[in-house]
Structure formats: C-alpha cells, structure tokens
Amino acid sequence: MTARDEETCIDLLRHGEPVGGRRYRGQVDDALSEKGWEQMWDAIGADPQWQQIISSPLLRCSAFAASLAESLALPVHMEPRFREVGFGDWEGKTRDELDRQDPGQTARFYQDPVNHRPSGAEPLGEFTGRVQAAFDEMLEQFTGQSVLVVAHAGVIRVILAYALDMPFASMYRISVPGAGISRITTHRERGFNFIAHGNRR
C-alpha cells in the first residue's frame, strides 16, 4: 500500500482566548492570554500523535504551535493562507459595540455573509478560496499522515464546509469553540469523513 492509498487524519484546533477577550479580531495580531495558553495545552491531551503541525502565522495560533512543535520535536509549517478572514471596519470591536453603532448588523452578517459583509472586509469568495487552496496543498503534501492545523474559527468553518460539501454561505452555522478540536479524515477513494467536532478534553 502506498502513502497515497492511506488515510490522512486532520485535527483542526482553534486558538484559545486572546488578550482582550472576545471581539472581531480578524487579522488583528493579539497574543493569547494566560488563560488562552492553558486552554490550548489542555486541549491537546497527554499523548498527541501528530506527525505535522500547520499554523496560521497570527500570534494567537503561531506562538502555541511553535511551542508545541518544540515540545514534540516536530516541524511546524506557517501557512499565511490560514490567517483569519479580514473583518474590515469590524476589526478589534465587540459585537455589542457594533450593534450599538448599527443595531442588527451582526445578525444580518450571519444570516447572509455574502451580501452583508462589514465595510472593507475580505470578500467571502477570496477568503474561502485561499483557505481551500492551502488545505488542498496540505493534503497533497502530507498524504497518509496525522496533521494538526492550529487556526481560527473562520478557517476551520471553511475546511469543515469544504469537507462536508456545504455552501460556504452557510458556514457560519457551524459553532467553533475556543481551544476545541475537530477531526476529519480523508482517503483517496473514500473521500472525507467527519469524525468529531469541537472536542475539549
């Protein structure tokens, strides 16, 4: 059996709590809080079996990924296309702040993320396209291996929607908890299987 015939296992780990708490960060580069670091270490469990670690380059992902990779004596690959979606004028603001400015605007976004995007936000098609392209290349490069991806809620939603053949406009219906792990597997002949979502150990 060649590597191409084997199953590839992908664990998707969302970052923990950043400094400053919950807000629309997008590409604002806040670090993890102390609580966020604790959440991330708790999430991986006592005996991780990954062979590769891929991370968004933003600090709330990359600092932990680098520390984990060092502890496991594994390589870490920074993938810029796994950055969170750019939220434009919403960057750095809380949901309450935004809805005080324009009541209902966040609800309209979640109901229709194509036509009700924040001003200056990255178009949904561009975001999903870059994440999907990076994911496909990752699968080609690491076929048959166990891979950890440390990324953001939006990136994880894109990957799950892609694996499940969901419309990307519906991906915000997927709740992605902080420091939660979702698992999918893929095989050249059988395709994707959705194994677990949002697990916290």
pTM exceeds 0.85, yes or no: yes
- Identify the pLDDT of residue 3: 47
Structure-token pair, residue 162: 């892609």
Domain boundaries, the chain: 3-86+123-199
Query: Cα(98)–Cα(77) distance, rounded to whole angstroms?
Result: 35
- Identify the pLDDT of residue 1: 41
Sheet holding 191-199, edge to edge: 76-78, 52-55, 146-151, 8-14, 181-187, 191-199
- Identify the pLDDT of residue 199: 66
Dihedrals phi, psi of 175, to nearest 5 degrees = -85, 130
- Identify the pLDDT of residue 4: 47
Exposure letters 150-162 (e unless 16+ CB within 10 A, then b): bbbbbbbbbbbbb
Q: Are 54 and 148 in contact (CB under 8 A)?
A: yes
What does each C-alpha distance from 29 to 50, 91, 180 come to in angstroms? 26, 10, 20
- Identify the pLDDT of residue 5: 58
- Identify the pLDDT of residue 106: 94
- Identify the pLDDT of residue 197: 83
What is the block-wise mean pLDDT of the chain (201 residues), using blocks of 10 residues?
Answer: 71 96 92 96 89 98 98 96 96 94 94 92 96 97 96 97 95 94 90 82 47
| Fold observed for domain 3-86+123-199 | Rossmann fold (3.40.50)
Greatest extent of the chain over all pairs of C-alpha atoms, in Å? 59
Q: Are 143 and 6 in contact (CB under 8 A)?
A: yes
